[in-house]
């Protein structure tokens, strides 16, 4: 799988760790920046990574800033992106299993190396389960298209 990986200066060290973890798991990383710990605005790498996912140049993306909040907000502005801010293994797993998240946003300041590894591994290894969750993702897509999701008819699963 191709994974776009980006960070601001506060997430730079975590991004380097994520690239190593993803490579160990056999994934190809596309590093969209930043290249060091000099200050940079988080919307820039968020846009590049999210756009790579939207345009199918990457299968998924992982973004890191100080809290993960800014990256998540910025990434979710890109069409076809479902970015999830996760803080533990369970939220990372459910973001994929239930929500088909295609961008993982993490805190570079609040997650240690061990938890970071576990979260990245579970997120990259979890597939979308579909089923009853599929209709909810379809409703999210309807909102993205400016439609009222309550008008979307889906099969009850």
From first to last of its 157 residues, the chain has per-residue pLDDT tens of: 999 999 999 999 999 999 999 999 999 999 999 999 999 999 999 999 999 999 999 999 999 999 999 999 999 999 999 999 999 999 999 999 999 999 999 999 999 999 999 999 999 999 999 999 999 999 999 999 999 999 887 655 4
pTM above 0.75, yes or no: yes
Mark whether 138 and 113 lie in a shared domain.
no
Q: Is 65 a catalytic residue?
A: yes
Mark whether 78 and 150 lie in a shared domain.
no
* Core vs surface per residue 55-89: b (16+ CB within 10 A) or e: eeebebbbbbbbbbebbbebbbebeebbbbbbeee
Mark whether 119 and 149 lie in a shared domain.
no
Mark whether 119 and 153 lie in a shared domain.
no
pLDDT at residue 150 in the model: 92
pLDDT at residue 152 in the model: 80
pLDDT at residue 156 in the model: 55
List C-alpha distances in Å: 108 to 63, 67, 94, 124.
9, 6, 21, 18
Q: Exactly one of 65, 72, 86, 105 is catalytic; which is it?
A: 65
pLDDT at residue 157 in the model: 47
Q: Is 98 a catalytic residue?
A: yes
Mark whether 133 and 65 lie in a shared domain.
no
Mark whether 20 and 96 lie in a shared domain.
yes
pLDDT at residue 155 in the model: 58
Mark whether 56 and 81 lie in a shared domain.
yes
Residue 16's φ and ψ, nearest 5 degrees, are -65, -40
Nearest to 132 by CA among 111, 97, 157: 157
Q: In total, how many domains does the chain have?
A: 2
The whole domain housing 144 covers 129-157
Q: Exactly one of 72, 86, 98, 105 is catalytic; which is it?
A: 98
Mark whether 71 and 100 lie in a shared domain.
yes
pLDDT at residue 69 in the model: 98
């Amino acid at each position: 799988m191709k994974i776009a990986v980006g960070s601001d200066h506060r997430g730079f060290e975590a991004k380097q760790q994520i690239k190593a973890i993803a490579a160990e798991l056999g994934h190809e990383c596309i590093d969209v920046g930043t290249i060091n710990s000099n200050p940079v605005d988080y919307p820039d790498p968020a846009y590049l990574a999210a756009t790579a996912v939207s345009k199918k140049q990457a299968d998924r993306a992982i973004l890191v800033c100080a809290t993960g909040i800014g990256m998540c907000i910025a990434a979710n502005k890109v069409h076809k992106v479902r970015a999830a801010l996760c803080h533990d293994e369970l939220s990372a797993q459910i973001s994929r299993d239930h929500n088909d998240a295609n961008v993982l946003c993490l805190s570079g300041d609040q997650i240690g190396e061990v938890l970071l590894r576990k979260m990245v591994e579970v997120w990259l290894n979890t597939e979308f389960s579909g089923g009853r969750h599929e209709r909810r993702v379809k409703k999210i897509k309807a909102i993205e298209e400016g439609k009222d999701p309550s008008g979307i008819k889906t099969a009850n699963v």
